[in-house]
Structures are given as structure tokens and as C-alpha cells.
Amino acid sequence: MNVVFDTQAVLIFYLGEKGAEQVANLLQQVLEQKTYGYMNIVNLAELYYILSRKSRNVADEKERNLRSFGVKIVSVQDNALWKEAALLKAKHSLSLADAFAAATAKTLNAKLITGSDPEFDNLGMQVKRIGTLG
């Protein structure tokens, strides 16, 4: 199984919010190589700047920690990936980072792991919402 972590899901984990244990379980599966985990570099940058607002040291620690689980960071050099993100952004009400998360999941035929944001509705892809009843 392939999963792509959206920034919100990783923030839920690192901030200890409702659903953190679900993300922890997925990261453990990635660590044990039972699941392949990915995060787009744009989402990693978003995570980093959000955490840097608190502390750059915390941001550095969490980036290292995320990579230590074996989550693969996906670059945007692939033309198919960045063009898919651009098309999703053009057609849907998504932030640019969310468009890259969705495009990464679509390109990798993976399930997108996110929080409760409705931006990923109606994109024709598998989405697992963390911290919600659904």
C-alpha cells in the first residue's frame, strides 16, 4: 500500500491532536516497510515553516524524525507531477501545497492521508481523514 502524507496529518501527529495515534500507526507501518510512505517536498516545506514559527530547532527535529520513519520525500522535478498539481489547483479550490499533496497521491496511485479539510473532496482519489469520524 502507498500513502501520501499531507501536511495537516503530520501536524496532527507532531502536535498531539486528535488522530495522532492513527498517524503514528501509519508511520510505524512505513518504518516496518509494510507500507510505502511519501510526502511531497512542497508539503515538507509547509510543515517546516509552520513548525519554524515556534522554533527552528523543533522544525529541524521533526523533519529528521519524519525522515527516520522512512517517509520518502518526492521532488517536483517530474513534469507529470507538477503539471498535475497545477491542473488540480486550476480546477479546484486548493492551496498550492494541497494541490501538490493530491497530485503526489494521484501520480503514485496512493491514498492521501490528511485531516478534516474539505479541499480534497471530489478529486476522484482515495482519501483517509485523520481526527474525524469519517
Instruction: Give a yes or no: residue 27 inside a domain.
Output: yes
Closest CA to 101 of 112, 115, 87, 116: 112
The backbone torsions φ and ψ at residue 71, rounded to the nearest 5 degrees and listed phi first, read -65, 125
Q: What is the pLDDT of residue 77?
A: 85
- pLDDT tens, 8-23? 999 999 999 999 999 9
Print the domain residue range for 34: 2-129
CATH of the domain at 61: 3.40.50.1010
Give the side-chain half-sphere CA count within 13 A for 48: 14
134 within some domain: no
Residue 116 lies in a domain: yes
97 assigned to some structural domain: yes
Residues of the chain with pLDDT > 90, as a percent, come to 84
Q: Is residue 73 part of a domain?
A: yes
67, three cell numbers: 525522515
Please count the structural domains in the chain: 1
Of residues 80, 110, 114, 109, the one with CA closest to residue 97: 114
